[in-house]
Structure 1
Amino acid sequence: MRKKVAFHTLGCKLNFSETSTIARSFKQEGFDRVGFEEVADIYVINTCSVTDNADKRFKTVVKQAQKRNENAFVAAIGCYAQLKPKELAAVDGVDLVLGATEKFKLTDYLNDLSKNEQGEVHSCEIEDADFYVGSYAIGDRTRAFLKVQDGCDYKCTYCTIPLARGISRSDTLENVLKNASEIASKGIQEIVLTGVNIGDYGKGEFGNKKHEHTFLELVRALDQVEGVNRLRISSIEPNLLKNETIDFVAQSRNFVPHFHIPLQSGSDEILKKMRRRYLSGLYVDRVKRIREVMPHACIGVDVIVGFPGETDDHFLDTYNFLADLDISYLHVFSYSERDNTEAAVMGGVVSKAVRTKRSKMLRGLSVKKRRAFYESQLGSERMVLFEGENKEGYIHGFTENYVKVKAPWDPQLVNTLHKVRLERIDEDGLVRFAYC
């Protein structure tokens, strides 16, 4: 009888792409994949460790797996598994913990699937994570996450990702194009490029700092892949988002006018403490350039509140900077202390209550920014790609510039593109339209 395996992914798009690749390896070994809410013989949890909340969620997910099948084999992989393997192995119910280099060989570590009294750990030194494994994730048939790069050479003082994923390294251009063609052949309409620091694309394996190709060469080549209707760049560092890339997206065949650019702080003093590789002036220049060549583009921003030493004045610098900037939405994170980072031992700790208050203020600003952006798009004609889920009688979709629309549920619309005119904003903040 074929064994059943279920997966649960915590964290980023990159984790989702890797989970999907690992799941395909199980299929090749004769396993049947089922949903995580179903009874399975093996539960695989792909962990994240960007925030405290992700750490806590891991234990909750393990308990959920045990409720479905108390005899199931539970394996933990991902960033948290690399950073704190012994902690994960000690969690009741966990049988196997694999680090950064071992996770793609998960099926090799499965023997008789009997429960272990203590979680077994196979974890490398992160310096050994110097090779690249390509991945892509296919979810609801409308969008795929394509991994093009892994690891990071930056030394931001708050971040554990270099400790969890190792040095910056990239897929070959040939393999990225092959994966993109495979995705297109499955009828998927949109590919989202993902990685830890995708603007650094081109560095080879084994610590080779030379760029075989640039990010601009990557997007130019992907734009020529047949069968792909949409290509979307996920998060890209402002110092690596060059004018040439912005200008190419503006006139490209398939890349959509949507950029997500981490800022983290609008205060230059805090940016220096974070050891970011730019100051606020460069960020303003990036936004201005996008607006010059793509006035209708959607621009998303990551921002961290409550970093050590962030005073009320520093926070107001950030708030006012963002309020004045022509952006479309914010992703707001409360600073979270992470072991083995410089920021964790800095003075000027900001209380949790203040972090929460500042986060709430910026989330409120994000709502206003998104509303203003949606209002600016009313009356325009856009292409909408419809998603595959029935949400309370409605189907949702996104325009190329990331305006979220809604319509009465119609299964015929799933995974289809339609030209529409954006007409009004509904009470829930989503946009109604008319077909063109």
Structure 2
Amino acid sequence: MRERDERGPSISRRGVLKAGGALALAAGLPAPWASRAAAQSAQGPLRLGFQVHRTGIGAVYGRWYERTTTAAVKLINEKGGIAGRPVEIVAEDDGTDPKRGAEVVEKLAVHHKVDLIFGTLFSHVVIASAPRAGELKIPYLVVSEGYHVASGRLNRYVFQPGITDVRAQVTAVAPWILKSLGKKATLIFPDYAFGHDHRDFFSRVATAQGGTIRALVPIPPTETSFTKYFPRVPADTEVLYHVMVGPGVLTFVKELGEHFGSRRPQIFGFIDSLEGVDFANPGLEFLEGTYFWEAFPRYAGPDTPQHVRFFRERVGINDVGTSVADPKDVSTASHMFGCWETLFVIKRAVEQSGYKRPGPDYKAFVETLEGFQSFPEGIEHPQGPKRFVGRLHQVFGQQVISKVDRRRLTVLHRTAIEDSMYPPEADYTKQPL
């Protein structure tokens, strides 16, 4: 992945031509594609702004989002780029901070003059950044999971085509939880938009299916000590539903085990609580026999499809979901695939819309993307097949339920796309461009 420093002097058209050819060769393009890229270089590379959480509470995700983006762009450039143009990534750290997020969107669009912006994860950053993208009228493709896109609260320039949203995830797995683990549930969740989606939609589905929410326990996402929250869990809780994010996730899970011990209720967690964390860590023994939602299984096995193995190899993770370069560096497998899939959606939308330059061609890009209906499983979409609902700007896919068995996750059940569908409450296509 190439990143450019935009503080230097401007270059001439001849310089752009030379730089475009050099970029194509540097990216390792096969000779026929290199010549095509050189022929297209009057337009220059397609420049994608990457809003990345390099620092702040989302840093572990940001690290793996960046590695996945690098791998996807390398593959795209090896195969001729997008519409014959080499892809260049311009990355800016938003610190996982809402205020900085909006500033990053403006910097990428106005200063760096990128073609599109993508990659944001944490929901409070997305919600703060999206209005600026709408004001600047630049497509903003997030990899966030929050319901904020499909809810209709954002704007027509914001899409989530590479990862499913919390409402869909909960809609798909809640019936299994209630049937298999218990109907009296207590929820522990981070106290910001992402956690509120879990609170609202699990509560809604559980109540509709005869379940009872015994307690709701919100925790600030920057919290580092959790023991004081656990006494709020009622004694008659049958299933404890947890999702946590941020730098304190390992402490959260350890203290959860210390508090409940062997007398714990059934436990169903979202893997967010342990993304980037090794299950072999001391203090996590109590997780044996508990259950997790995953989007992309951390562990590969004999039945892992070849296109999934290809993805894992390209992004640099081994069969246990850690970096091939450092076995202590645990991936965020259930989220980072979204960057890969989003980049291939961008490729498809650019090529089908005829997009060439910022501004005039955004209308065709947006309308083309809104017209997509499905993405087949394969190298471009390794997590699984997807259904895209253009009016919601949201993709739907399969969900995975796994069980902790001998300190690793074993897949028990994979839901169908239909299990996650819900009635649409928005229609972005009616908004002006």
Same fold (TM > 0.5): no
Structure scoring higher RCO (CA < 8 A, sep ≥ 6) equals 2
TM-score, structure 2 as length reference: 0.32
Which structure carries more strand by proportion?
Answer: 1
